[in-house]
Amino acid sequence: MSYTIGITGGSGSGKTSFLNKLLEHFTEKEICLVSLDNYYKLREEQPLDEKGVKNFDTPEGIDFSQLQYDLKELMKGNVVSKKEYTFNNPNKVPKVLTFTPAPIIIVEGFFIFYKQEIEECIELKIFMDARPDIMLKRRITRDAVERGYDLDDVLYRYENHVIPTYEKYIKPLKKKADIIIPNHTSFDKPLAILSAFIRELLKKK
């Protein structure tokens, strides 16, 4: 049976950077990473705000049923395939992602502790924390480069979608976390601790 770790936090809190560093220490046979980013509903199914702008920062835009199904399949030892979600980037050709069962399954994303059905699949819960100004800077870089949004669009979404969502949905999830990682400047120590913990788990598998 796989051991599941969940990592959540606000947009720009550093979840992806932390995970990229963590995965450098392990192989795909040891850790399977599942990102909530690939479980968004179709663009036409995303809720609209009062100005008619699609809001990707609400739980209503996530296909939790599919995520729950895929997690349970992985935990049973079954391979899962999922089409990559490319958001607003027309130049990015979606890949077909293959999730291979591994002793450690890491699930990351905004709302992974929001639904009880998903939370119950996760054994170790981690919350990445960062100052709002740092999160905004990271969000601008990510959305401009990876998702094809211009600066005005990024700032509008941050003020009207990201911050309200963080306060309403994400921040309250901090109380469910087993570990809170401050990521204002560096996460080297928490990274080393989590890596050592996973190594010990792998020895027992």
The answer to whether residue 148 scores a pLDDT higher than 70 is: no
Share of the chain above pLDDT 90, in %: 58
Amino acid identity for residue 35 in this structure: S
Amino acid identity for residue 196 in this structure: A
pLDDT of residue 190: 94
Q: Which helix (H) or strand (E) holds 136?
A: helix 132-146
Which two structure tokens, joined as six digits, stand for 135? 């999160």
Cα-flanking dihedrals φ and ψ of residue 35, to 5°? Answer: -105, 135
pLDDT of residue 144: 67
User: Rounded distance, CA 32 to CA 186, Å?
Assistant: 24
Cα-flanking dihedrals φ and ψ of residue 12, to 5°? Answer: 90, 10
What pLDDT, in 10s, does the model give residues 95-136?
899 999 999 999 999 899 999 999 999 999 999 998 888 887
pLDDT of residue 137: 77
181 by Cβ neighbours in 10 Å (0-12 / 13-18 / 19+) ranks as buried
Q: What is the mean pLDDT of residues 13-22?
A: 91
Q: What is the dihedral of CA 109, 85, 40, 23, to 10 degrees?
A: -20
If we measure between CA atoms, which residue out of 77, 61, 41, 68 comes closest to residue 161?
Answer: 61
Q: What is the mean pLDDT of residues 165-176?
A: 90
What pTM value is reported for the model?
A: 0.87
Burial annotation 7-25 (CB, 10 A radius, 16+ → b, else e): bbbbbbbbbbebbeebeee
pLDDT of residue 115: 92
User: Rounded distance, CA 17 to CA 47, Å?
Assistant: 28
